Homo-oligomer: A and B are copies of this chain.
Amino acid sequence: MSAALQQTIYETLSQLVLIDPHTHINPHSPASKTLADILGYHYYTELAHSAGMSREHIEQPGIDPKEKVRRLAEGLGHIDNTAQLSWLLELAQELFGFEAERVDSSNWEAMYDAALSKMLQPDWEDQVLRKTGLESVFLTNDFDDPLEGFDTQRYVPCLRTDELVFHFAKPTVRNRLQKCSNTQIHALSDLRRAIKQRFAHFKSRGVRACAISLPPNFSPTQISDAVAEQALNRILASNEQVDADSRAVLGYWVFWELAGNCAESKLPFDLMIGVNRAVYPGGVFQGQDLYDSRVSLIQYRDLFNAFPQVTFPISVLASVTNQELVSYAWIFPNVVTNGHWWYSNTPSFVHRDLQARLEAIPRNKQIGYYSDMYKLEFALPKFNMFKRCLSKVLAQHFVIDSRWSETRAIELGRQVLRGNVETIFGFR
């Protein structure tokens, strides 16, 4: 009974039209042009590399898309057990009509051609969104993004702030901020004004969230203006040669300032907690980051207390942090759970983490899923994976174990998939 029930729930949930609350889509080129855009996703290049293919072979400058796909296809046999590869097969089947159990040297070209014939169609972007059941897609915008030339109803701006917090000592970052905000930064008050100006710009273009990814050792506290001013002065004098302490101090000040602007602008502040960048510098592009799972939300205690009026949708990189997330969201009104991020985005972690959330956190505080995609084609298989996990928990835990009606379970699924995205990000 459980399998059939799960399937019914899955099919019902599949009819929903969704908003994807976190992606890396380029709104000027949202869909793939060739299969190389799909296979070039770091999930495939890093796994092919990890399984034995050299970075030089994968990333050789100047190779054309078809050659890139040919090369990567050689390495896919070693990763055909992975959830990541199952995304490729599912999207190929659902979007290109290309059905196969595996991709290898015998069929990569057929797949390439099938993909290309679809991608060349002028309405490909619309087709993908329609088939996937997506009406809006959040972006990840640099602070100096002009946010022009695209439909901000479909592609919703989100202000990404990692550079301001972690790389302000780089002259290039500073210069970009000065330029886009039309503000010379000589003192802390200038920096404060520049940040404020950026929020105003983003608000004028329909921004729905501010976001940042944070390393495991990040432990923000409020820094006084006087202390921050000194740190700023040292940074302006020494740039990247400045001491680590000054960078950290100013980073915390900027972070706090961002939270304050979120309060004023009534924006949720997405925190993506736990990533260490460039742990493996010899890895492929975007395949170099890892983490230290020894992180605790206790590090954010001051923040959650200081900004009760800001909603913090939180993603954690390691599943071990999920129970803390559940507990903090159970107590703090302004902490909500946000999807299943990166290394925790495979079925067994999703299933486990999701069940722990659904059984203990208020239902209006859970954002089910986001795709984190770079190209539109990936929302379909990723959301489907999540919907399967969700259907399993709804069928087993709610309908069978807790005797809920199917209708009631589906309503919970709907809220987690769509309703909470609307309420938390202010769509209604």
Contact = CB atoms under 8 A, between A and B. Distances in A.
A303 B206 CA distance: 47
Contact of A358 (B81, B332, B363): B81
Given A356-B349, A359-B348, A365 B51 contact: yes
A323 B362 contact: no
Contact of A320 (B80, B290, B293, B358): B293
Given A279-B298, A281-B305, A363-B80, A344 B331 contact: no
A344 to B, nearest CB: 7
Nearest to A83: B359
B412 A331 contact: no
Contact of A332 (B280, B291, B352, B398): B280
Interface in A105-134: none
Of A49, A78, A290, A412, which is in contact with the most chain B CB atoms at under 10 Å from its CB? A290
Contact of A356 (B281, B291, B346, B400): B346
A84 interface: yes
A80 B411 CA distance: 12
Nearest to A81: B363
Contacts of A292: 296, 298, 324
A331 B46 contact: yes
Given A280-B304, A280-B305, A347-B397, A290 B327 contact: yes
Interface string A1-45: 001000000000000000000000000000000000000000000
Copies in the complex: 3
A137 interface: no
Of A288, A301, A327, A358, which is in contact with the most chain B CB atoms at under 10 Å from its CB? A327
Contacts of A78: 362-365
A84 to B, nearest CB: 7
A323 B294 contact: no
A283 B348 CA distance: 33
A223 interface: no
A340 B80 CA distance: 23
B305 A282 contact: yes
Contacts of A358: 81
B331 A280 contact: yes
B346 A360 contact: yes
Interface in A283-309: 283, 287-288, 290-294, 296-298, 301, 304-305, 308
The 6 closest A-B pairs by CB, nearest first: A51-B362, A292-B298, A292-B296, A327-B343, A78-B362, A81-B363
9 contacts: A49-B333, A81-B363, A281-B305, A288-B331, A290-B324, A290-B328, A323-B349, A346-B356, A388-B401
